[in-house]
Amino acid sequence: MSDERPGHDLPDTRGRTGLHRAGRDLTGNPDVRIHDVEVTSDGWHILRRTTFGYRGRTGEWTTQSRETYDRGNGATVLLYDPVGRTLLLSRQFRFPAYVNGHPDGMLIESAAGLLDGDSPEEAIRREAAEELGVRIGGLTHLFDLYMSPGSVTERVHFYAAEYAPEDVSGGGGVEEEGEEIEPVVVPYDEALGMVADARIADGKTVILVQWAALNLFG
């Protein structure tokens, strides 16, 4: 039977279909059975309410419902200068942080972005060039993490790469996308202090600075 709601069998405003079928074919966990998937919002990203059966440790089945926010997967990279012992980060306005208690919403972050159909390696090379003006050479994959698994489906691919100050040219983000990004060079020792006093308050960046403490500059 055809479901002619936008985003289901008819394209939504971004040309997507089949949004209501996400998760229905999962078989990896025999204690979970998907009953229904409802798309509650399909703006730039997708909000779904999924109803499923869950078999607990007692063997009893219960019916549960969860909302998930699907914004795709992403990638991030720590750019570091091993000679100068510096990190190349960015500063930009983040409204969700601003509306949730950050003093001015201006966060210091590692270069990052959504995959948008590219491989993680391709995506982070693109983002580093757009945001920070760096053409990455060698790229080291670190790990892949779910950053907010209670409600957000996104998995972030973490990388590290060397940079040289003379290789930095341009950056600032994509103007057509409303980006206004300031490249920021931070001495490694100062970055540790900024994590300690919450001047760096972005989760992925904190993880990468701590990784650097364990593996690069410790």
Per-residue confidence (pLDDT) for residue 175, from 0 to 100? 53
192's tokens: 């540790």
What's the Cα-to-Cα distance from 121 to each of 34, 53, 81, 162, 209, rounded to whole Å?
Answer: 33, 37, 20, 15, 20
For 4-23, how does the pLDDT look when each residue is reduced to its tens digit (9 = 90+)? 677 777 787 777 777 788 88
Per-residue confidence (pLDDT) for residue 54, from 0 to 100? 97
Token look-up 């001047």 returns 199
Per-residue confidence (pLDDT) for residue 83, from 0 to 100? 94
69's tokens: 């926010």
Helix ranges (H only) for 104-154 are 120-132
Averaged confidence pLDDT in the chain: 91
2's tokens: 């055809």
Mean pLDDT of 111-135: 94
Rg (CA), the chain: 20
CA atoms within 13 A on the CB side of 119: 4
Phi (first) and psi of residue 142, to 5 degrees: -100, -60
CA atoms within 13 A on the CB side of 158: 18
Question: What pairs with residue 187 in β-bridges?
Answer: 86
Per-residue confidence (pLDDT) for residue 5, from 0 to 100? 72
10's tokens: 């008819």
| Number of helices (H), then strands (E), in the chain | 4, 10
Q: Which of 24-28, 74-78, 178-182 has the lowest mean pLDDT?
A: 178-182
Strand-strand pairing, 46-55 and 61-70: antiparallel
Per-residue confidence (pLDDT) for residue 168, from 0 to 100? 85
182's tokens: 């300031």
pLDDT band at 118 (very low <50, low <70, confident <90, very high): very high
- pLDDT over 90 at 163, yes or no: yes
Distance CA 48, CA 141 (A): 31
- Structural domains in the chain plus CATH codes: 19-70 (no CATH), 74-215 (3.90.79.10)
Per-residue confidence (pLDDT) for residue 176, from 0 to 100? 57
DSSP 20: G
**What does 178-194 look like in DSSP terms, one character per residue?**
T---EEEEEEHHHHHHH
pLDDT band at 3 (very low <50, low <70, confident <90, very high): low
For 52-92, how does the pLDDT look when each residue is reduced to its tens digit (9 = 90+)? 999 999 999 999 999 999 999 999 999 999 999 999 999 99
Question: What pairs with residue 183 in β-bridges?
Answer: 90
pLDDT band at 172 (very low <50, low <70, confident <90, very high): low
> Residue 91: which region, alpha, beta or left (left: phi > 0; alpha: psi -120 to 50)?
beta
